[in-house]
Amino acid sequence: MWQEGPVGLVVTLRQVTALTRREQREQTRERLLDGAMMALVEHGYAGTTTQRVQERVGVSRGALLHHFSSKAELFAAAVHHIADMRIENIRAVAQRVGDGPNSLRQIVFAMHDSMTGPAFLAAMELWTASRTDDELREALLPAERRLGRALREVFDRAARIDDPETARTELESLLALLRGLELGRIMRQDDAVAVAVIEQWLDRFERDYQ
């Protein structure tokens, strides 16, 4: 609410300006994280530098350093940014699908879709690099665990398997399958094969549990 008098007006304008600046900083941070993700896809982990991210986003060196003081800090934040994108996407699909008779089929194909595109390819770059980079691996683990919990929550709701250990094994088998299909697609641009393999997994699941 505007306060009466010039003093109140100045205070309120300052508050609005501060809010706008906060929003601008958040937008710049988001752009830097998106830029880091796309740089990972285009140049790989080894080829992604802060300079490349900065140039891609079109910000000054000072603006980048204001948000991330090092490449390690930028990648640590990018790890969580990528995980958050994937969690948001799969939960949005789960809400649209609901609990209908074909919910599992729709969820499985939504998981497949979430393991394609820039976010997943960037995640794969980070996973591979983390094999020999302990600092990166430590940054990855909490984000991947959050993603894993979100996938488990969505899968359990649609699969309706009573035994928790069996449900966990089925989810892990599905995730391994989907990741493998996407990695294979790098060398084989044939989506029909992926769809056929997923359909076969679903047919087997329905025979075993429904």
Mark whether 190 and 150 lie in a shared domain.
Answer: yes
- Same domain (yes/no): 97, 189: yes
pLDDT of residue 197: 93
Domain edge (last residue) among 27, 54, 69: 69
Distances (CA, A) of 53 to 139, 153, 155: 19, 34, 35
Domain that holds residue 52: 1-69
Give yes or no: residues 105 and 134 share one domain: yes
Cβ atoms of 31 and 55 closer than 8 Å: no
Are 49 and 75 contained in the same domain? Answer: no
pLDDT of residue 4: 47
76 and 64 both lie in a single domain: no
pLDDT tens-digit series, residues 142-190: 988 999 999 999 999 999 999 999 999 999 999 999 999 888 877 776 7
Predicted pLDDT at 204: 94
Q: What is the pLDDT of residue 95?
A: 83
Question: Which class for 186: exposed (0-12), middle (13-18), buried (19 or more C-beta within 10 A)?
Answer: exposed
- End position of a domain, from candidates 69, 87, 119: 69
pLDDT of residue 76: 86
DSSP-assigned letters across all residues of the chain: -PPSHHHHHHHHHHHHHHHHHHHHHHHHHHHHHHHHHHHHHHHHHHH--HHHHHHHHT--HHHHHHH-SSHHHHHHHHHHHHHHHHHHHHHHHHHHHTT-TTHHHHHHHHHHHHTSHHHHHHHHHHHHHHTS-HHHHHHHHHHHHHHHHHHHHHHHHHH--SSHHHHHHHHHHHHHHHHHHHHHHTT---HHHHHHHHHHHHHHHHHHH-
Q: Are both 105 and 175 inside the same structural domain?
A: yes
**What's the pLDDT score for residue 194?**
87
Which residues in the chain come in under a pLDDT of 70? 1-19, 189
pLDDT score at 2? 40
Q: Do 90 and 178 fall into the same domain?
A: yes
Task: Note the pTM of the prediction, 2 decimals.
Answer: 0.78
175 and 84 together in one domain: yes
Same domain? For 52 and 126 the reply is no
Question: What's the CATH number where 50 sits?
Answer: 1.10.10
- Which of 36, 53, 69 represents a domain boundary (last residue)? 69
| Number of domains comprising the chain | 2
The verdict on 56 and 102 lying in the same domain is no
